[in-house]
Structure 1
Amino acid sequence: MIRTMIVDDDALVRLGLADLLEGDEAIEVVAQAGDGLAAVERATAHRVDVALVDVRMPGMDGITATARLRALPDPPKVITLTTFDLDEYVYSALAAGADGFLLKDTDPAEILRAVHLVAAGSAMLHPAAARRLIDRYHHAARPQATAAHGLIGALTPRERDVLALLAEGVTNAGIADRLGMRESTVKAHVSRILNALNVTNRVQAALLARDAGFVG
């Protein structure tokens, strides 16, 4: 079972998301919170695999909450949900450690798919957000590319193979199948890659790889 937490200051939104998630036999809603501080408390009290976190909330907002959740000893994956498709939210959420970014009007089936993908160690971005994010990084200041080249150059050939597929959005299971490896071995490679690149999740690793021109 994928243990999830819903974080939103709107009770009706929480109810709707809970109904959606509980309709999937592989997903269990173990906690709900109306603000960021309560979310951190709930995640500390309950083991949570994936947290769906609203951006705009009173008190501690979703971006701050995401950073706090990801800093926990056993951190949940985080999917940021928002009504507002604003660039600043996308960048801030990913910088805080989010593994996904979706709009609240995303098709319900895609929200469920995002929970499964993120729980499996992949990432999920709303298409429009992903396109603008990639465009921004491709046109960002080039000094970052030199540093990115150096970091990627320090990886082993096998780690670079894994990074290339990771940057394409391939799941751990897919990488294992493509490279003829055990999924546990892929997970170990991904962990070393994130550490070597000094990033906290797969999205940031993919962006760094794109910034370096390692992938298109």
Structure 2
Amino acid sequence: MTIRVVLADDQTLLRGTLRLLLDYSPGYEVVGEASDGDEALALVRAHVPDVVLMDIRMPRTDGLQATRSIRDDSSLADVKILVLTTFETEQYVVEAMLGGANGFIGKGTDPPELLAAVERVTRGDMVLSATASVARVKRFREQQHTPRPTVPGRLAELTPREREIPRTQHVVPAH
């Protein structure tokens, strides 16, 4: 099976490099190149590729809006979107994934890893680079962290369940 790809990045050199990588790798066909989100959306509608390699920061319409526009079009439901960006921040990871991206990786990704990521999103897997995963987990931990109150003495050694038991016990007076 040949994986049909649209490249969306405002950097001509990067698009050319990605095209060379995909053209010389068996099983891939680049069906279009876009320099902004509007062009990407038009190419995706015209060619209905398997995967879009989508940059985030592009002129006119950025990759996040283009991703949302692709997801809003039910005829493009099977198109997978792999965000390929320099900016692996938690904010962009969350925005991209909530907008419908299937994966999020950095432009520093090694070529074999990039090809593997394209194959994985094509199969329906979700892909996050290690940097993107760490950014998201770090933010999640910050949101979940709640300082625990300290309990003096031996009560501090009890588990939460052990501290709960006395509250649930009722003493029934003898008749």
Mapped pair 1:59 → 2:60: yes
Question: What is the Cα deviation at residue 140 of structure 1?
Answer: 3.1
Distance 1:131 1:9 in 2: 27
Question: What is the Cα deviation at residue 133 of structure 1?
Answer: 1.1
4+ residue runs of structure 1 moved beyond 6 angstroms? none
Distance 1:119 1:132 in 2: 24
What TM-score comes out, normalization by structure 2 length? 0.76
Kept in 2: contact 1:70–1:77 (CA 8 A): no
2:162 match: none
1:89 match: 92
Distance 1:141 1:37 in 2: 38
Question: What is the Cα deviation at residue 24 of structure 1?
Answer: 1.8
Residues 149-180 of structure 1: CA deviation (Å, up to 9, x unaligned): xxxxxxxxxxxxxxxxxxxxxxxxxxxxxxxx
1:126 match: 129
Kept in 2: contact 1:80–1:101 (CA 8 A): yes
Question: What is the Cα deviation at residue 87 of structure 1?
Answer: 1.8
Question: What is the Cα deviation at residue 86 of structure 1?
Answer: 1.8
Question: What is the Cα deviation at residue 130 of structure 1?
Answer: 0.8
Letter in 2 for 1:39: A
Letter in 1 for 2:89: L
Distance 1:129 1:47 in 2: 27
Q: SS of the counterpart of 2:76?
A: coil
Q: SS of the counterpart of 2:143?
A: coil
Question: What is the Cα deviation at residue 85 of structure 1?
Answer: 2.3
Kept in 1: contact 2:8–2:53 (CA 8 A): yes
1:4 match: 5
Kept in 2: contact 1:83–1:104 (CA 8 A): yes
Distance 1:26 1:140 in 2: 42
Residues 49-89 of structure 1: CA deviation (Å, up to 9, x unaligned): 10000010010001001111122212311011111222211
Distance 1:86 1:60 in 2: 20
Q: SS of the counterpart of 1:140?
A: helix
1:74 match: 76
Distance 2:36 2:89 in 1: 20
Distance 1:123 1:23 in 2: 25
CA RMSD between the two structures: 1.5
Letter in 2 for 1:92: E
Kept in 2: contact 1:7–1:53 (CA 8 A): yes
Identity of aligned residues (%): 39
Structure 1 residue runs of 5 or longer lacking an equivalent are 143-216
Q: How does 1:199-210 map to 2 (within 5 A)?
A: none
Bigger radius of gyration: 2
Mapped pair 1:140 → 2:143: yes
Bigger mean CA deviation after superposition, 15-24 or 48-57:
15-24
